[in-house]
Structure 1
């Protein structure tokens, strides 16, 4: 090979390398552009449709890349979207209501609902067959923090059951199981898989599913800031479609199939237990069949918050709830 031929070959290789680099940069730019950072309030089987959407590629089908983070409480997850470290938060709706009430300009909006019932289970040391709501009178129940939707719904249940337990409401979400193990309460409200884990560790029993005690409510929702919503309606529309597909898939498949699809998100639980947890939630009807939030469920949210004295009667919170027509506006 002549010197000239060598130079020509090197030149061609440089050109090829240049186009490869440009192509890879373009892919990376597109991936970053379509990246959605989700911050979930906690990790639970309760949020199975979200994990299904990830594992079955429904987000990818919509051209979305998802980065999932987990907080310990709605406050932390909501703070992440306010600060811009996350795009979307999976939280209780009350956190958006509280910020809206403060008159923040870039207040959070709610554009989809993942769950429609309380996913907590009441755990206690008595036998399940001996359980009666009146047993809670005067007893200590570890609930979620004061002002959270799980706390307010449990308070609502005590109101309609006409019982007066002592509700412990100052223990953080991640510390509550340890507090119960150490003897801080007679009962505790927990999501799965925590409920079964604590049941086994403390010789307790799962006494009641709280989902059967109230009406439909936007219990766990997807929220983002007003600015993000107004600037990313096409992306949000794709996000909603992916979650809708997952909800429909869960409705049509059995618990073991669902458990198999999400087991990677729960490395400390075996398939048998995950299947059991999924079956519980399917039986209790906690998952929405569509993400749209209806007026009746919003009205019940208001009723629950007013009962807990966290919302003044007559306060209009409808502005923070966005439906499909709001999302598709301008698309």
Structure 2
């Protein structure tokens, strides 16, 4: 009898272990997605919302974000396999395509839909006119990047020739542009947030215009991946896009204060009130895309801006580098 009881316990224990093993095996580990972001910016608030609010986690994804500091470094990380997804300006996908890439980089989810820079004046009398820039020293962004191309596009829109009407400085590294202006270089500077708002708060300059408002809608920052990655990991890419769409909707429905509180951990060196100010400014000018669909009009506007700046290596058809399948499905569901 004792042997029977021991055998029964053994069978029960064995069955329990087998069930536990089977249960564990059925629990799929989260799919890992490595994202290379071109810079750390409040401009990308929906991405950090997706991380903080658990939208990626709810989709069964483990998303890791690394800041690669520059479009060229970001694309290098993507093309070399150091990242699965890149968050960078859509112009970079055109540059790669023009070089004859065998595995082109595809834009599959849009994050921002305007330029994110502002015109900051050293001295401000209370009123501003673009004519004020004529004869001034203008500290612009790196040549070939979207900020510089949009900057020149807007100047020309206001009948200002960047080559002859202003003393245009473009040989300062991106990371040092703000310091150069603070040190006394330039009458005007093109700056991203939160630097523009911090300068205004500290009395170092005054925000007088928005390049985002002036240039119209463009696919300024998008999530992109190599074509082969998207085809081989369609389910993962779809879940990623779903999470981004949920974050975009949350940002649209939330106040600047609520958004600032959620993304504050990603900007420990920026005062909370400045984060809120910046978020509000971007919301007011509709910089955050409402959904991840990159439409053809925005794509054509991008190429017009690049062409005007003399930086478009070749015209690229919308369907060659843009895939809206994932974004449309995310928005529909």
Partner of 1:3: none
The within-5 A match list for 1:171-190 is 171-190=172-191
Which of 85, 90, 110 lines up with 2:87 in the alignment?
90
What is the CA deviation profile of residues 11-46 of structure 1, one whole-angstrom value per residue up to 9, with x for unaligned ones?
x99x9999999998997x823xx1111111111111
Partner of 2:29: 30
Kindly report structure 1 stretches of 4+ aligned residues shifted beyond 6 Å: 15-27, 325-328
Partner of 1:212: 213
Distance 1:26 1:194 in 2: 48
Q: Report SS of the residue matched to 1:175.
A: helix
Instruction: Report whether the alignment pairs 1:81 with 2:82.
Output: no
Deviation at 1:233, TM superposition (A): 1.2
Deviates more, 1:71-80 or 1:17-26: 17-26
What is the CA deviation profile of residues 185-243 of structure 1, one whole-angstrom value per residue up to 9, with x for unaligned ones?
22221121121223345621111121210221111111111221121111111111111
Distance 1:105 1:280 in 2: 40
Partner of 1:5: none
Deviates more, 1:78-87 or 1:137-146: 137-146
Distance 2:23 2:180 in 1: 54
Deviation at 1:170, TM superposition (A): 2.6
Q: Report SS of the residue matched to 2:175.
A: coil
Distance 1:211 1:95 in 2: 19
Partner of 1:252: 253
Q: Is the CA contact 1:217–1:301 (under 8 Å) kept in the aligned structure 2?
A: yes
Partner of 1:8: none
Cα-Cα RMSD: 2.7
Partner of 2:5: none
Distance 2:311 2:318 in 1: 13
CA change 1:25–1:68 in 2 (3 A) is: farther
Deviation at 1:271, TM superposition (A): 2.2
The within-5 A match list for 1:121-160 is 121-127=118-124, 129-160=126-157
Distance 1:213 1:128 in 2: 21
Deviates more, 1:229-238 or 1:180-189: 180-189
Q: Is the CA contact 1:72–1:173 (under 8 Å) kept in the aligned structure 2?
A: no
Distance 2:319 2:136 in 1: 37
| Runs of at least 5 residues in structure 1 that lack an aligned partner in the other structure | 1-11
Partner of 1:107: 104
Q: Report SS of the residue matched to 1:30.
A: coil
Partner of 1:225: 226
Distance 2:103 2:328 in 1: 17
Instruction: Report whether the alignment pairs 1:192 with 2:189.
Output: no
Distance 2:271 2:24 in 1: 39
- TM-score w.r.t. the length of structure 1 is 0.87
Deviates more, 1:56-65 or 1:165-174: 165-174
Distance 1:17 1:58 in 2: 33
Deviation at 1:66, TM superposition (A): 0.8
Partner of 2:171: 170
Partner of 1:64: 61
| Runs of at least 5 residues in structure 2 that lack an aligned partner in the other structure | 1-11
Distance 2:325 2:135 in 1: 46
CA change 1:289–1:258 in 2 (3 A) is: same
Q: Is the CA contact 1:62–1:239 (under 8 Å) kept in the aligned structure 2?
A: yes
Q: Is the CA contact 1:72–1:174 (under 8 Å) kept in the aligned structure 2?
A: no
Distance 2:286 2:262 in 1: 19
Deviation at 1:252, TM superposition (A): 0.9
Partner of 2:9: none
